[in-house]
Amino acid sequence: MVFIYRCQLELHDSLYYATREIGRLYETEALIHNYALCYALGLVDSQIYSTTVAEEHSYRYFCPEQVPKYEEHLTPLNQQGIYVTPARSLNHSAILNTWKYANNNYHVEMEKTQKNIPSFGRAKEIAPESQFEFFIISRKQLKPPKWIRLGKWMSKAELTTQEVNNIALKTGDFSFSYPLNPLDVMFTHQVVSYDVVNMPPVSLIHNVSIRQGQYYEFDNPNKTEKLRLPAKMQYQFKA
């Protein structure tokens, strides 16, 4: 038995993360990676990855090293049969913020300096009230949180969740316009065409066409055509 949840996010703060860096411009793409959503939903925090309680709590509240551990943190979700898709924008707008900073060598390294050279950068962020949509697939019933935080600024977002009904598992050719993680979908499906969105840590794909793959078919609100979501997706970390 499978449970599928259609989730909608509404931002209550501006959302920022560096999808791409163009000179001094740091741009946020109107997509949210499925890795980021797993952390924001608390699916990672619910797991025990450390050998001692002290180590576990040190990870939750303090990160001593800036080294991603996606494989270590997300692989247990495969064992539980939980998968989160990336989120697409339903509607959004962007804001551009300019920030300035100065040379702080005298403060950081206690060095004397006669120069104070200011510099600047620009951050393109997703504005409050923007809305996103994604899916959670699970072998067990879940109760996602009402509020989550995302991005570099830990921006607040409201989550609305609706359980999907009348799910049918089918096999055949189908297309899926929502964003997907290519490592996860190409491991179990033959993808014949797609568009790429370059972003770290793994570029996403959308407008995907799949040949003779398994999919979940269910009603798509406000549309006569049913939605077909790729089945059996799991977190994969090797191409």
Which of 137, 205, 211 is CA-nearest to residue 175? 211
pLDDT in tens, 52-71: 333 443 445 556 677 788 99
The residues, any chain, with a CB within 8 Å of residue 54's CB and separated by 6 or more, are: none
User: pLDDT by residue (tens digit) across 187-208?
Assistant: 999 999 999 999 989 999 999 9
Q: Residue 45: what are its φ and ψ, rounded to 5°?
A: -60, -25
Q: Residue 102: its pLDDT value, please?
A: 62
Q: Do the Cβ atoms of 127 and 94 come closer than 8 Å?
A: yes
Please name each of the domains of the chain with its CATH number.
3-97+118-230 (3.30.70)
Q: In this predicted structure, what is the pLDDT of residue 98?
A: 87
What is the mean pLDDT, run by run of 10 residues, along the chain of 239 residues? 95 93 89 95 64 40 73 94 96 90 57 61 93 96 95 94 94 95 94 94 95 94 86 88
In sequence order, which residues have a C-beta less than 8 Å from that of residue 27 and are 6 or more positions away?
A: 18, 19, 20, 21, 124
Tokens 């089918």, located at residue: 170
